[in-house]
Every structure is written in structure tokens, then in C-alpha cells.
Amino acid sequence: MKHIFLIAFSALMFISCQHHFISSSEVRQSVHEAFEQRRAVFTEGGVFDIFDSELTEDERGAMEFLYSSMTSSDLGDYDGEFFLANVRQSLLAREQMPWGKDVPEDLFRHFVLPIRVNNERLDEFRMEYYDELSERIKGLSLHDAALEINHWCHEKATYVPTDRRTSSPMATMLTGEGRCGEESTFTVSALRAVGIPARQVYTPRWAHTDSNHAWVEAWIDGEWYFMGACEPEPELNVAWFNQPATRAMLMHTRVTGDYSGPEDAIQKTNCFTEINVIDNYAPVRHSVVHVVDADGKAVEGATVEFQIFNYGEFTTVVTLPTDEKGEVSLHMGLGDIFIWASHEGRFGFGKLSGDSITVKLDKRDGDSFTFEEDMMPPVPGEIPVNLTDEQVAANKVRLSNEDAIRMAYTSTFMTAEKCKEYSPREQALLIEAMGNWRDVKAFIDSKSGAERERAVAMLEAMAAKDLHDTKLAVLEDALSAVVPAQLTDTYVNYILNPRIDFEFLQPYRTVIRQTLGSELGATPSATQIIEWVKTNIKTADEYNPIQILSTPAGVLRLRRADSLSREIFFVAACRAFGIASRMSSMSGMPQYLGENGWVDVMLDGAVAEREARRGAIRTIYDPRIVPAIPTPTYYTHCSISKIENGRLRAIRFDSNLKNDLGATADPSLLAEHIELDEGHYILTTGNRMASGKILARVVTFSVEEGKVKDVELRLRPANDEVGVIGSMDAEMRYLPEGAEME
């Protein structure tokens, strides 16, 4: 009898473990410990109150998993009810969809349950569109359902390049368009909504051409397959980028939590696991970087940056620390990659072309050097495409019909004719708002006289994408909480404008004025705000390793944030109280406008403020060296980076090379004066050949306060090779020569 009881008890325990959200006791314990650690750190704002609710065992397990790896930004910007609603919807999809029982537990946990795909704004997409999507794929196999979901996504959005702030899935639908990162985020969200494991895959930079790309992988019956997001094809593993993908150096995916799959893990943080799936697309090699000091001794803990030449600069695509042997390794495509290594102010560099390289840290900030390198991309390969003519023809008909569905929706947007009673400036804003035109219109309509002029000026100062997804309540808060003043450039851009960096816009000015005003008074100084932030907002960089920017309201709620979100909060607080403030594109630091000019703000350390010290450069270019490029352009042929403690920080100009003071330089970087902060820099140039090869050159220069430095901007000649004339968008679709548009 005792024996029978033990068998029954063991069976019951086995069933219980099987039905727990995480069946592995070891994984469950690890997740719970990480969850409790976060709960001990983030004690403000009631962010864990949701766990006092009545939850099922599955709901509690799923919620603990999400919270155990959640970024500080998500903890502060969303409430527990939002995440619980998503968890319940995901569990419902697993129960209702025919493939739900077949999806392995770990894949459901990492590739279905998470709402976040990359760095997008989270929204209610899963709850809003589950019914529509599940009805659309009713009766289909998992394979056919994945293809059909992509057709649905194509009806809702098409490719248009935008700025780097990633729209939420519903915002992409509202606009009817998005860049590849937004299309893939949208498509992954749609697949996950119906219980299909999906992930965003992206090459951080192509090696053979400027630009990068992101797409989707879906797990179908035991294997991962790729597809172009919002670009449906008749079959899986077919996309316009089949051939370019074979020339990639790296393929990244960020997976929520501590993931232990078969893929190559590049790094693990306490928020995500970054995996490299380049093996699925291209021939690879395993390369080792060995870092030594000036005396040839191995350096442990050195920072190694793997860089690909793209957009006129060597762009860091992976950053890894060296081990006790001074080594770090990486799987990559069969092309050249540039290595920049640094440690405690010393740095060195070199081109990695084979299985290994030794980099000596024999340089420091201020050293002068020039070097040239030929950077070769991987050679073209092929991912086979096996489609019949009938499949291709039928798909073209479907795509045309889907375009018509989307265009019927976008035809409801504002046009000049529809809003002809508005001023030209207001018309431009209403047209740019696209699917969000109702909120923008309501905002403008509610204002008159001088207040309307102020409202229009604020809208014009915001980024174009802000007009696409910023709601009426946000606009009202931004305008009403700032004291009216003369509409000078400084007032409009650095006080009235709610946009600071690439954070999502939410109402924040009223709550900041109420909270800080109760302690500092109605008109605090910038110095008082600095001290309040230093005292009340703690840093938590380890809980936001990829800097998904928190909103100022989220920072205030949580009282903790990554360093950049904390700096953005300082700028937001200054603007809320009428103090001109900004994030400097030159220094990368928060600044406020003092009596004698812009003042850098250091929120950490003993020194809190210092006046910005600036000089300028004048570039000299001889077009006779490369006649095919009479005027080199920034982000295509050249770039500037500042050397700080042995590492590089790229200088980001906008498309018109507008500097922090509002003066616009020549977009070719051939201006008489280009203002830069005092310090040491490198100027990088590159001449791309038709083969994809880059003739790169790097030269150092220094900037001194109040002085103008002449810097030679030289492109290396192509000699007998064919160079690329002009530039192209690698994501655009082109017809073969002689073909006609249907």
C-alpha cells in the first residue's frame, strides 16, 4: 500500500512539474532568484504590486519570468496590469491554437511570451488583434499560418525609411509604413500573438554596402525559417536579401532572459541573451583576438570592439571583454573586420582577416597617427530559391491586392485639399501626421491666437515621427506646462519642444513640475535641479544594458534609471521649468544654457558643471585625387569620432550637419568652420568599390578651445578598380534593366 502511495505521489509531482510554467526546477529557481533580486532593487513606484493579485500558477510563473529579466525602463514605464494582460493572452493563444501543445516550453518562454522584440514602444497589440489574426489563419497548418500572417502584415504596412526610434506595432499600423526594424518588430509581434515562436534577426551592418537590415525568423515544426517582414513570398526562406545575407559578417538576435539554445551566444546580460545565427546564412570562421600591452603581456578585461565599415565609419557591431589569457573569440562571415581594443586609457587596432590577430595597446589619447586599410567583404554566395512560375505569379496578384487594401486606408489621411482652410504650416503638420492626424488636428483646433502659434511652433520642433504617434494628451501636457515666451529658436527648440533624444513621448511636464516644485519651489535653478537629480535618481545601468530609453515620467516613478535616461530626465526637468536644456550631439552630455553659453552637466562625480569648451575645424579636400567624388558626404564617405579614454564616440550630425548652436554646415563636411568640443578626434574616410571593398583611411587631429584647425579630408583613389558613384538604399527594390513596372 505504501509502495502504491509513493508511485501515485511521484506521478502527481511529475504532472505538477510538467504543468508548471517552467518545468525545470533548476531554471525555475534561477528565474525566481533573479526576480527577487529585482524586487529588492526597485522598491519605488509599486512596480511589483501586481504580484499581490490573485494569479494562477502559470500566470505567476510567466510574470516572474518576464520581471526577472525586465529592463528598468519597462519596469518604470508600464504597470503590472499591462504585463498580466499580455501574459493571459499568450497563455490563451497556447491553449487555443492547434500548435500550442507542440511548441517546446523553452521556445514558448523566450519567443512567444515576451512582448518586447527589440527597443520599440510596447503596446496592446496582442490583446487588440488576437481575434482578427486567429480567425485569419483558422484551419491552416503552422507553416501556412506563418506565411499568411506575413500577408496580413503586408496589408497593414510597407517599407519607408525613418529615424532610429522604433515605433510600436500599433503605431506602425497607424502610419501604414515603417523601416525594416519596425516592420520586423510588427511581424514578430503578429506571429507571437497567435503562439508562433518568432524572433527579429538583423545584420547590424552590411560589409559590402552601406545600410543594415532586419527580418523575421519563425519556428515551424522544429526548425527556424526566415522571411522578409511585410514582404510575403510564396514560401519560407525566400526574400530579396537571400544573396546579400550570404555576404553578412554577423546576424544578431536578442532573446529575453537567460537563453540556452543551440545557437552561438555572443553575450549574456541580466536582461537578455544575444545570439549570433550567421551560421544559418553564410560560410563562417571562428576568429580569436589576442590583446597585449605595450610590453607584450596579455591583458585581461580589455574591451574589444568588432567594427564593420559602413556609413562612412568603422561601426562597432559587437563589444566583448578579454579573458584571463587576453583573448576573445567570435563566429563571423569570411570578410575583413576591424578590431579596436582598449583598456585603462590605452588602445590599439588592426584588421582581422583570418583566424587570429594580436592587438597591442600601444597608443593613448592625444597620440598622432594615420593608417590606411583595404577592407574586403565576404564574396557573394547563394541561398537557393525554389519557386514555380505559378507561385510567383499568384503571389504578385496577392501583393497587388494587399497594396490596394493598405492604400485604401492611407487614402483617409489628410491632404492639402482636405485641410485647405488651415495655414500652410498647419497643413504641413496635418499631412505629416498621417494616421495620427485626428489627434494633431484636435490639438491645433483647440488653440487660438498666440497660443495656437505656440502650439504650431512646438509641433514643428518635434521629430517627424512624433507627429505619427504622439497623442493629444501628450501634446496638451507638453504645451500647457511651459510658461509662454517669445518664440525664439532657443525657446522653441530647447524649452517648448518635448522631444529630447529618442525616448518615447508621454506626459511628463506636469508631474515633474508638481514633484520637484513641491521641494524646490516654482522657479528652481539648473543647479538645484542637478542636485535634486543626483540625490533622488539613482543609476541602474546593469538593468538596461542596451539603453531602451525610459520616459521622464517612468524615471520619476522608479527613481532609478540607466545613465542616459537619467540625463534625459534632467533635460526634461529643466525644460519643464523654462530652462533651456539639451543633450549635446558633440559631447554627448546634458547641458543647460547659462549666462555665458552652454554648460556641461555631470550627474556623477564631484564636479557637477563646467562651461563647454569648443574649437573648430576647417576641412581641406582636393577633388582631383578622386574625380568621381567631387563632394564627399558625411555618413557615406567620411565621419568624425572623438577618442575618450581609449574608446571612440561617433559625432552625430543630423542630415544637414546642424550643430548644437543651430548653425547649418555644408552637408559635404567641407565647411569653413565645424564646431567641435575640445579634445582628440579621428577623421575616417572610405571609398567603396563596386565589389564592396572599402579603401579606408584614418587620421587623427586635435581641437583646442577658440582655435580653428585645418584637417585634410582625403579619399583614397580607386586606381584600376571600379568605384561606386553616388549612393543607394540597399533595402530598396529594383527592377532588372529593361523591365517595366506592372
Q: What is the pLDDT of residues 155-193, one digit of tens each?
A: 999 999 888 899 999 999 999 999 999 999 999 999 999
Range in 88-92, 487-491, 718-722 with the lowest mean pLDDT: 718-722
Across residues 207-236, what is the average pLDDT? 95
Per-residue three-class SS string for 535-583: HHCEECHHHCCCCCCCCHHHHHHHCEECHHHHHHHHHHHHHHCCCCEEE
More confidently predicted of 492 and 668: 492
* pLDDT of the residue at 180: 95
Q: What are the beta bridge partners of residue 617?
A: 674, 709
pLDDT digits (tens, 9 = 90+) for 64-77: 999 999 999 999 99
- What are the Cα distances from residue 235, in Å, to 96, 143, 364? 25, 9, 53
- In whole angstroms, give the CA distance from residue 110 to residue 114: 6
Across residues 89-102, what is the average pLDDT? 97
- In whole angstroms, give the CA distance from residue 67 to residue 416: 47
- In whole angstroms, give the CA distance from residue 65 to residue 105: 13
- In whole angstroms, give the CA distance from residue 634 to residue 621: 13
* Strand pairing report for 638-644 and 647-650: antiparallel
Across residues 481-498, what is the average pLDDT? 97
* pLDDT of the residue at 612: 79
The total number of residues shown for the chain amounts to 742
Question: Is the predicted pLDDT of residue 521 greater than 80, yes or no?
Answer: yes
In terms of C-beta distances under 8 Å and separation of at least 24 residues, what long-range contacts does 88-96 make, across chains too? 88/59, 89/126, 89/127, 89/130, 89/193, 90/62, 90/126, 90/192, 90/195, 91/58, 91/59, 91/62, 92/130, 93/130, 93/134, 93/193, 93/194, 93/195, 94/195, 96/134
Average pLDDT of every residue of the chain: 91
Across residues 244-252, what is the average pLDDT? 95
* pLDDT of the residue at 721: 67
Question: Is the predicted pLDDT of residue 40 greater than 90, yes or no?
Answer: yes
Across residues 207-233, what is the average pLDDT? 95
Q: What is the DSSP-derived secondary structure letter of residue 283? A: -
* pLDDT of the residue at 724: 58
User: 472: helix, coil or strand?
Assistant: helix
pLDDT band for 736, please (50, 70, 90 cuts).
very low
C-alpha cell at 705: 578651445
* pLDDT of the residue at 519: 96
Range in 601-615, 634-648, 704-718 with the lowest mean pLDDT: 601-615
* pLDDT of the residue at 211: 83
Across residues 222-226, what is the average pLDDT? 97
- Runs of H (alpha helix) within 164-290: 169-175, 180-193, 242-245
pLDDT band for 723, please (50, 70, 90 cuts).
low
* pLDDT of the residue at 634: 87
Across residues 332-351, what is the average pLDDT? 97
Percent of the chain having pLDDT more than 70?
Answer: 92
Q: How far apart are the first and last CA of the chain?
A: 79
Question: Is the predicted pLDDT of residue 738 greater than 60, yes or no?
Answer: no
- What are the Cα distances from residue 464, in Å, to 433, 461, 467, 480, 692? 8, 9, 6, 21, 33
Q: At what angle do helices 437-445 and 424-432 cross, to 10 degrees?
A: 150
More confidently predicted of 614 and 680: 680
Residue type, 468: H
Q: Is 40 exposed, middle or buried (CB count within 10 Å of its CB: 0-12, 13-18, 19+)?
A: exposed
Range in 121-130, 201-210, 456-465, 534-543 with the lowest mean pLDDT: 201-210
- Contacts of residue 98, Cβ cutoff 8 Å, sequence gap at least 6: 142
- In whole angstroms, give the CA distance from residue 315 to residue 716: 19
C-alpha cell at 257: 532572459
Q: What is the DSSP-derived secondary structure letter of residue 689? A: B
* pLDDT of the residue at 668: 60
- In whole angstroms, give the CA distance from residue 196 to residue 96: 12
pLDDT band for 6, please (50, 70, 90 cuts).
very low
* pLDDT of the residue at 608: 77
* Strand pairing report for 647-650 and 272-276: unpaired
pLDDT band for 322, please (50, 70, 90 cuts).
very high
Q: Which of 151-160, 604-613, 630-639, 673-682 has the highest mean pLDDT?
A: 151-160
Question: Is the predicted pLDDT of residue 30 greater than 60, yes or no?
Answer: yes
> Of the candidates 535, 528, 539, which has an alpha carbon nearest to the alpha carbon of residue 568?
539
166-187 b/e (C-beta count within 10 Å ≥ 16 → b): bbbbbbbbbbbbbbbbbbbbbb
Percent of the chain having pLDDT more than 90?
Answer: 85
Residue type, 508: Y
pLDDT band for 141, please (50, 70, 90 cuts).
very high
Across residues 128-141, what is the average pLDDT? 98
pLDDT band for 203, please (50, 70, 90 cuts).
very high
**Strand-by-strand arrangement of the 590-594 sheet:** 581-583, 590-594, 597-601, 609-611
- Contacts of residue 286, Cβ cutoff 8 Å, sequence gap at least 6: 329, 330, 331, 355
Range in 459-463, 496-500, 604-608 with the lowest mean pLDDT: 604-608
Residue 626: how many other CB atoms lie within 10 Å: 20
- What are the Cα distances from residue 541, in Å, to 72, 381, 548? 9, 40, 11
Residue type, 649: R
Question: Is the predicted pLDDT of residue 586 greater than 60, yes or no?
Answer: yes
Q: At what angle do helices 125-136 and 142-156 cross, to 10 degrees?
A: 120
pLDDT digits (tens, 9 = 90+) for 264-292: 999 999 999 999 999 999 999 999 999 99
Q: How many alpha carbons fall within 13 Å on the CB side of residue 30?
A: 12
Residue type, 728: M
* Backbone dihedral region for residue 224 (phi beyond 0: left; psi -120 to 50: alpha; all else: beta): beta
